[in-house]
Structure 1
Amino acid sequence: MEFSLWLPANLAWRDLHAAATHAARTGGWRGLWLEDHFMDNGAEPNDGARGECLTQLTALAATVPDVRIGSLVLGNTYRHPAVVAKQAAALSDVSDGRFVLGLGAGWQENEHRAFGIEFGDVPSRIRWFRESLQVISGLRDAEGGFTDFAGERYRLEHASLNPRPHSRLPILIGGKGEKVMPRLVARYADEWNLWSTPAPYAEKNRIFTAALEDAGRDPRSLWRTTQALVFFDDAAKAAVVDAKGRAAIGGTSAEIVDTIGAYAEAGVDEFILPLTSLADVARIADLGDRFLAEVAGAFR
């Protein structure tokens, strides 16, 4: 089992850099992740701080060594996929191959309305997402050649991704739908992510593994990640949060170790610790260090 850290995107750069630098220096985290939103998903009017994901990741790529960095996940509706492919190739170069391109179909309606971005219905967003994956993977895999594409939403004419990514750019797909998403993951993803606790994860994993097998793909070729809020010494609060629809785990350190073991048995390769609600760098460092010492250390 590997472990990564999900940092808050609402920190000022100085604080985000300090939190990321501390995490990298511990040597215990495989990667650092940032979300991609333009505003909070809360009561409006809404003017909470929110950084821009790709800009922040570029700065981290240039200044924080040794760990992977990635988007968890880019909203497909916000950007043209060919432009995303160019940005991802540049990030792959800046990071010396450490960047993971995490992608999702998009879901947060309020920011689409606020920023004047077409939201569409669920079927439309899934169709657009499929086309985006075709565009990005086509450009990535063209081996220096050219890509043409004509779809419902996107069109490319003799487009080239040059310079190429530093190494084969991994695509992570975030999604939990059981009809279309498993086929998209089987076709396009190197990695797959969703919020979950162990029991529901095991069932989702069974469905996605079946899609890989149906596609003739070795299930071991997909790296599987998940995350849940972690409440040390407060299993009751974790249960309340989880019952409201946000995956959460909690209890003593030993109980959390047991839960992480259940994730591993369910097929998870990497657990991501979300500390996205924190605004204090010292608190982020303390909680991250405690998780590494008391939980992740049991799996080394």
Structure 2
Amino acid sequence: MKFSLWLPAHLPWSSLFSAAHHASTARSGDASWRGLWLEDHFMDNTPEPNDGARGECLTQLTALAATIPDIRIGSMVLGNTYRHPGVVAKQAAALSDIADGRFVLGIGAGWQENEHRAFGIDYGNVPSRIRWFREALEIITRLRDEESVTFAGERYQLDRASLNPRPHAQLPVLIGGKGEKVMPKLVAAYADEWNFWSRPGEYSAKNAIFTAALEKAGRAPESLWRSTQALVFFGEGGAKKAAELTRPAIGGTAEQLVDQMSAYQDAGVDEFILPVTNLTSAAAIQDTSDRFIAEVAAHV
């Protein structure tokens, strides 16, 4: 199993760079961070007023690509509704080049209603957002793989569009989502990687549904890289605190967390992503991430 770090998007650049640079060089035995991820939101999903700091994902990732070597970077995940997929493909190709092939384009259908409303973006409804997402995935993967793309859809239209320069390497597309009806088909058709929030006990059943969709589409199960994340609480009271939350969370002593990582691995997880998005300083991120690498990841 590999491990990655989900950094806060609200940090000023100097703090974000410091945390990312430290993570890129952190080691404990054979354990290290495989990648760094940033979320794509314009505001918090909390009651108004909602004016907390929030960076722009692709701009921050471009800066990380240019300054942090030897580690993957990715979006966890871009909201499809916020940008035209043809423009996203162009941005992703440039990021792939700057990152020397280390960039992962994570994308999802979009869900946070308050930021759509605040920024005047069409929210649609769940069925329409899924249809738009399907169109976007076809556009992005075709632009990546084909010399020229013409497309006429419900939401998007392209007329002989192309990516030039091409992505530096085969640009991986990660789909974030856990719906059991449409999402497995989209993952099987378009994704190189798949991600959703989960506890260890929840992962196996969901994973079986997506694996069946891969096999139905004629894909080998091992062709899909699978990642997940949950909030992590260290210490004796960590398990109790995690159990009180509705959002996927785990907790406990280092030994208990190692056992939970093993349970994720047995359920089919290839990569666990540690969210530190609630932390407000590079020093706090460094302390938490170093503890996880030394006390948990190094023992898995």
TM-score by length of structure 2 reads 0.97
Q: Residue 187 of structure 2 aligns to which amino acid in structure 1? A: V
**Unmatched runs of 5 consecutive residues or more in structure 1:** none
- Please list, as runs of the form range in 1=range in 2, the aligned pairs for 1:87-98 lying within 5 A after superposition: 87-98=91-102
Q: Structure 1 residue 18 and structure 2 residue 18: aligned? A: yes
Match of 2:252 in 1: 251
Match of 2:220 in 1: 218
DSSP 3-state at the match of 1:50? coil
Distance 2:275 2:254 in 1: 17
Match of 1:85 in 2: 89
Distance 2:177 2:151 in 1: 24
1:29-58 CA distance string (max 9 Å, x none): 000000000000001011000000000000
**Unmatched runs of 5 consecutive residues or more in structure 2:** none
Question: How far has the Cα of 1:104 moved from its partner?
Answer: 0.1
- Please list, as runs of the form range in 1=range in 2, the aligned pairs for 1:46-195 lying within 5 A after superposition: 46-142=50-146, 145-195=147-197
Match of 1:291 in 2: 292
1:9-30 CA distance string (max 9 Å, x none): 0000010000000100114100
Q: Residue 15 of structure 2 aligns to which amino acid in structure 1? A: D
DSSP 3-state at the match of 1:97? coil
Distance 1:275 1:125 in 2: 29
Q: Residue 277 of structure 1 aligns to which amino acid in structure 2? A: N
Question: How far has the Cα of 1:200 moved from its partner?
Answer: 1.1
Distance 2:189 2:77 in 1: 18
Distance 2:144 2:203 in 1: 30
Match of 1:7 in 2: 7
Match of 1:237 in 2: 241
Q: Residue 84 of structure 1 aligns to which amino acid in structure 2? A: V
Q: Residue 135 of structure 2 aligns to which amino acid in structure 1? A: E
Match of 2:204 in 1: 202
Distance 2:37 2:191 in 1: 17
Q: Residue 253 of structure 1 aligns to which amino acid in structure 2? A: A
DSSP 3-state at the match of 1:129? helix
Distance 1:168 1:12 in 2: 31
DSSP 3-state at the match of 1:85? helix
Distance 2:49 2:139 in 1: 36
Distance 1:73 1:89 in 2: 16
Distance 1:131 1:13 in 2: 34
Distance 2:142 2:242 in 1: 42
Q: Structure 1 residue 40 and structure 2 residue 44: aligned? A: yes
DSSP 3-state at the match of 2:228? strand
Distance 1:64 1:150 in 2: 39
Distance 1:164 1:13 in 2: 28
DSSP 3-state at the match of 1:49? coil
Distance 1:33 1:10 in 2: 13
Where do 4+ consecutive residues of structure 1 move more than 6 Å? none
Residues matched between the structures, number: 294
DSSP 3-state at the match of 1:226? strand
Q: Residue 37 of structure 1 aligns to which amino acid in structure 2? A: H
Distance 1:222 1:25 in 2: 27
Distance 1:50 1:290 in 2: 26
Distance 2:90 2:74 in 1: 15
Distance 1:40 1:252 in 2: 30
Distance 1:119 1:193 in 2: 23
DSSP 3-state at the match of 1:32? strand
Distance 1:172 1:103 in 2: 6
1:183-215 CA distance string (max 9 Å, x none): 000000000000001111111000000000110
Q: Residue 90 of structure 1 aligns to which amino acid in structure 2? A: A
Q: Residue 14 of structure 1 aligns to which amino acid in structure 2? A: S
Identity %: 72
1:132-176 CA distance string (max 9 Å, x none): 00000010000xx21110000000001111100000000000000
TM-score by length of structure 1 reads 0.97
Distance 2:113 2:98 in 1: 32
Q: Residue 262 of structure 1 aligns to which amino acid in structure 2? A: A
